């Protein structure tokens, strides 16, 4: 089992819909959880970070961490075409581990 599992997609949703992106992991030692957005041919950009379990909200983005299930989620409300990108989950205890990324397309 890989340390971090993330569905590569692509995921296509209509503009305005709620998007749900998820990752599962196997290492219970992970304490820090992050979501990055990467546009084509650009470096990843930090979107959200969470320590331990719980929810965190920032504008249209909500990050959830469920350590008991080893499952993290990123929700995007009122999705926009500009949200079209690859979203990578990442988690760390000592070393940071990335998911493979989910390609998201928001259809106008």
Positions that interact with another protein (CB under 8 A)? 31-32, 34, 36, 41-46, 49, 51, 88, 90, 92, 96, 98-101, 103
Helix, strand or coil, per DSSP, at residue 89 = strand
Which is nearer to another protein, 91 or 106 (by Cβ)? Answer: 91
In contact, 107 and 43? CB cutoff 8 Å? no
Residue 55 CB, nearest approach to another protein (Å): 16
The pair phi, psi for residue 53, each rounded to 5°, is -85, 165
Which is nearer to another protein, 17 or 31 (by Cβ)? Answer: 31
- Percentages of the chain per state (helix, strand, coil), in multiples of 5: 5, 55, 40
Which is nearer to another protein, 14 or 43 (by Cβ)? Answer: 43
Rounded to whole angstroms, the Cα distance separating 105 from 81 reads 7
Which is nearer to another protein, 84 or 99 (by Cβ)? Answer: 99
Residue 99 CB, nearest approach to another protein (Å): 7
């Amino acid at each position: 089992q890989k340390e971090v599992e993330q569905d590569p997609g692509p995921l296509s949703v209509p503009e305005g819909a709620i998007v749900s992106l998820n990752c599962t992991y196997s290492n219970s030692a992970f304490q820090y959880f992050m979501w990055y957005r990467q546009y084509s041919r650009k470096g990843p950009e930090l979107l959200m970070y969470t320590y331990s379990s719980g929810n965190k909200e920032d504008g249209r983005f909500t990050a959830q961490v469920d350590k008991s299930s080893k499952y993290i989620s990123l929700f995007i409300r009122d999705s926009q075409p500009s949200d079209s990108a690859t979203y990578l989950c990442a988690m760390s205890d000592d070393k940071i581990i990335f998911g493979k990324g989910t390609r998201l397309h928001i259809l106008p």
